[in-house]
A and B are shown apart, each in its own frame.
Chain A
Amino acid sequence: NAGVTQTPKFRILKIGQSMTLQCTQDMNHNYMYWYRQDPGMGLKLIYYSVGAGITDKGEVPNGYNVSRSTTEDFPLRLELAAPSQTSVYFCASSSWPGQGVSGYEQYFGPGTRLTVT
């Protein structure tokens, strides 16, 4: 049981380039999330999904896109990368809230460190 996996671990992009951050979970969780972490700012929610085919914006969605075609995968797409997108990106998953106390625990991947220059 690998939990939540993210690729790549590190990436350097030039301004204007695009890329996709991959996230996969093997816990059959309905809910998946993308966060970015900036120094001194905590984690901010970019996008989330409550199931395959359903996504919604979080607190800081501008400059990003997501899709959810399967339960397991939740890729994050950066179009036209900008220096402001330099950050550490975390993917997380959880079961749905009605599934008892465990439904509220989010499981995090190891993160992707992205630098845009």
Chain B
Amino acid sequence: AQSVTQLDSQVPVFEEAPVELRCNYSSSVSVYLFWYVQYPNQGLQLLLKYLSGSTLVKGINGFEAEFNKSQTSFHLRKPSVHISDTAEYFCAVIVYGGATNKLIFGTGTLLAVQP
């Protein structure tokens, strides 16, 4: 069965510092990969996605992620964070070729940006 692992449940970082949120997936077949962001008391919003093509994917709010097939990873990065980036970030995967389009989520990483 496919699974998604987010190794860090919480990442504290100072404002304007760089950040990396880690995501690894387990699948022997091709997958589509996503990062979603959830601001406090809100629903989930898509940050970025990798379906095919360039392994470096750029998303909204200055975030980017790199798909690494050999390491089965899809880490999220931002070179300089703002207070407004404080939120929970979820990595998710869909198995390519599935008819159901079901997302499998990681457990989330809380990004806490401090002044």
Contact = CB atoms under 8 A, between A and B. Distances in A.
A94 B101 contact: yes
Contact of B43 (A41, A50, A109): A109
Contacts of B51: 101, 104
B43 A108 contact: yes
A22 to B, nearest CB: 15
A33 to B, nearest CB: 8
Contacts, number: 59
**Chain A interface residue bracket vs B:** 20 to 34
Interface string B72-108: 0000000000000000001000100011111101111
Interface in A81-101: 90, 92, 94, 96-97, 101
B103 A106 contact: yes
Contacts of A45: 102-103
Contacts of B45: 108
Per CB-CB distance, the 10 closest pairs between chain A and chain B, nearest first, are: A108-B43, A42-B105, A108-B44, A42-B107, A43-B105, A110-B43, A97-B101, A101-B51, A104-B32, A42-B108
Interface of A: 4, 31, 33, 40-45, 48, 50, 56, 58, 90, 92, 94, 96-97, 101, 103-106, 108-111
